[in-house]
């Protein structure tokens, strides 16, 4: 007898109506690809530090962001350029200065929820905060 992995169905019966309903609301392949790129950008600790600084400090210039995150100006500028290309941050120029901020309330909410999620697990048994 072959045992099935615990994450599979015991029988292979498909609920066609449910599958069709889910497929109707799923994002396009293009949207999924773009989302994967954004999450890939967010997988970098340096970029996460920049976003944390923007979440806490609001609009900041590259010099201040580099100092707050312990990055070189070059590294911070490069990371911010990538984040701007994917509409995670916005830039406002004033003369030769560039001031960055989170792109919109959705980015702020997503990042804030992620931080809250991580902090929530700190007090639970078996959570990452244990040890």
Whether residue 129 is predicted with pLDDT greater than 50 in this model: the reply is: no
At 46, is the secondary structure helix, strand, or coil? helix
Domain span at 109:
59-122
Whether residue 127 is predicted with pLDDT greater than 50 in this model: the reply is: no
How sure is the predictor about 69, in pLDDT bands with cuts at 50, 70 and 90? very high
The reply to whether 90 falls in a domain is yes
The reply to whether 81 falls in a domain is yes
Whether residue 32 is predicted with pLDDT greater than 70 in this model: the reply is: yes
Could you tell me the pTM of the whole model? Answer: 0.72
The reply to whether 128 falls in a domain is no
The reply to whether 94 falls in a domain is yes
Higher pLDDT, 82 or 125: 82
Kindly state the average pLDDT of the residues 90-112.
Answer: 90
Percent of the chain having pLDDT more than 70? 85
As a whole number, the mean pLDDT across the chain is: 86
The reply to whether 86 falls in a domain is yes
Helices within the chain (DSSP H only): 16-25, 29-41, 45-57, 62-69, 73-85, 105-122
Domain CATH code at residue 103: 1.10.10.10
The reply to whether 15 falls in a domain is no
> Which of 83, 74, 73 has its CA nearest to residue 47?
83
The reply to whether 4 falls in a domain is no
Whether residue 75 is predicted with pLDDT greater than 70 in this model: the reply is: yes
Q: Are the CB atoms for 54 and 84 separated by under 8 Å?
A: no
The reply to whether 9 falls in a domain is no
> Which of 42, 130, 52 has its CA nearest to residue 65?
52
The string of pLDDT tens digits covering residues 35-59 is 898 889 889 999 999 999 999 999 9
Number of domains in the chain: 1
């Amino acid at each position: 007898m072959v045992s099935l992995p615990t994450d599979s169905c015991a029988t292979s019966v498909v609920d066609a109506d449910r599958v069709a309903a889910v497929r109707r609301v799923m994002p396009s392949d293009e949207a999924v690809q773009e989302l994967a790129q954004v999450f890939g950008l967010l997988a970098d600790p340096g970029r996460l530090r920049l976003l944390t600084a923007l979440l806490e400090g609001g609009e900041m210039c590259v010099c201040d962001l580099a100092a707050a995150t312990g990055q070189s100006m070059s590294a911070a500028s490069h990371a911010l350029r990538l984040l701007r290309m994917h509409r995670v941050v916005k830039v406002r120029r004033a003369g030769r200065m560039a001031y960055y901020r989170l792109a919109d309330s959705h980015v702020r909410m997503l990042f804030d929820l992620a931080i809250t999620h991580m902090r929530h697990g700190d007090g639970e048994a078996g959570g990452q905060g244990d040890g």
